[in-house]
């Protein structure tokens, strides 16, 4: 009878000790599985194929544009970053070059790093200068004539269309023409050249406030001539390589620049104060 109890007690102790060992072993197994899931993410490579994305910076940015060899490169910000990599001194030097058109050294100085920063802000400044100066001249004229003055918001939109459109379409057209004549030039270089060539119109518009009609025509003509000369002389090497048809290119450059100055004169300063 005692042996039966002893045997039952012994079995109870053994059966009680086995679950304790089993629980410890089970806990250790779960802990090792958790470690594997945290420190060895085996499924990460399946979600991000190797080579599909460039390494990223600490701030989450990318050193290279995605799809660096595909068509999406055109829409990547990193593609245009080098064309805005200029400082204030660079922009000021290039503006000074545009004010001395007979030097013809602008293309040589910007051949290594043509920028789009200066052209963008020159066009943007021209838009607000043209709209504000045109509005001011109209306001003074109508007040002197004792007429009611109404602000014309179309001056801003019209100026934006003229300057942004001109500095985009004309270089594109010239790029195609030079390529057709086997005298190609870089497209970004042409955007840069034409953008800075428009700077002369900023002081010209400011001087057009003077209420003398003949003076305004002279200012418009001088600004157009200087701008056209600046473009033509800096494209001299490309124009000369076009052969006997170089005259057509030069004539087109001069006519377009003069047409821009005449359009500004007629649209913004048609009222004599």
- Domain limits at 221? 87-268
pLDDT mean over 58-79? 52
pLDDT tens digit sequence for 144-173: 777 777 777 788 888 899 999 999 999 999
pLDDT mean over 76-82? 73
- Candidates 256, 249, 207; CA nearest to 232 is 249
The pLDDT of residue 60 is above 70 = no
pLDDT tens digit sequence for 17-29: 444 444 444 444 4
In a domain, 163, yes or no: yes
In a domain, 193, yes or no: yes
In terms of pTM, does the model score above 0.75?
no
- Candidates 62, 40, 44, 42; CA nearest to 53 is 62
Tell me how far CA of residue 263 lies from CA of 50, 72, 82, 171, 228, in angstroms.
Answer: 56, 38, 34, 19, 15
In a domain, 50, yes or no: no
Decide if 108 contacts 77 (C-beta within 8 A).
no
In a domain, 178, yes or no: yes
- pLDDT on residue 204: 92
In a domain, 234, yes or no: yes
In a domain, 204, yes or no: yes
- Candidates 43, 50, 93; CA nearest to 199 is 93
In a domain, 201, yes or no: yes
In a domain, 10, yes or no: no
Which tokens sit at 24? 């410890």
How many domains does one find in the chain?
1
The pLDDT of residue 56 is above 80 = no
- pLDDT on residue 120: 94
Residue of 137 and 49 predicted with greater confidence: 137
d(CA 69, CA 62): 15
């Amino acid at each position: 009878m005692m042996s039966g109890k002893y045997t039952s007690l012994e079995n109870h102790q053994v059966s009680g000790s086995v679950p304790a060992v089993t629980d410890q072993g089970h806990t250790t197994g779960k802990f090792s599985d958790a470690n594997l899931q945290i420190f060895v993410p085996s499924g990460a490579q399946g979600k991000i194929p190797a080579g599909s994305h460039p390494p990223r910076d600490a701030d989450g940015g990318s050193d290279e544009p995605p799809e660096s060899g595909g068509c999406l490169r055109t829409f990547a910000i990193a593609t245009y970053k080098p064309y805005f990599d200029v400082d204030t001194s660079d922009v000021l030097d290039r503006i000074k070059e545009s004010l001395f058109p007979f030097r013809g050294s602008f293309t040589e100085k910007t051949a290594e790093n043509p920028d789009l920063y200066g052209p963008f802000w020159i066009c943007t400044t021209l838009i607000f200068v043209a709209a504000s100066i045109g509005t001011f001249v109209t306001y003074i004229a109508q007040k002197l004539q004792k007429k009611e003055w109404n602000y014309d918001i179309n001056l801003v939109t019209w100026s934006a269309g003229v300057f942004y459109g001109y500095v985009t379409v004309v270089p594109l057209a010239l790029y195609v023409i030079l390529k057709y004549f086997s005298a190609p030039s870089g497209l970004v270089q042409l955007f840069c050249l034409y953008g800075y060539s428009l700077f002369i119109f900023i002081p010209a518009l400011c001087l057009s406030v003077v209420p003398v009609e003949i003076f305004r025509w002279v200012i418009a003509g001088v600004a157009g001539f200087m701008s056209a000369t600046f473009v033509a002389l800096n494209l001299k090497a490309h124009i000369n390589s076009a052969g006997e048809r170089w005259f057509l290119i030069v004539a087109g450059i001069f006519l377009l620049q003069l047409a821009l100055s005449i359009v500004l004169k007629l649209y913004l300063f048609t009222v004599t104060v």
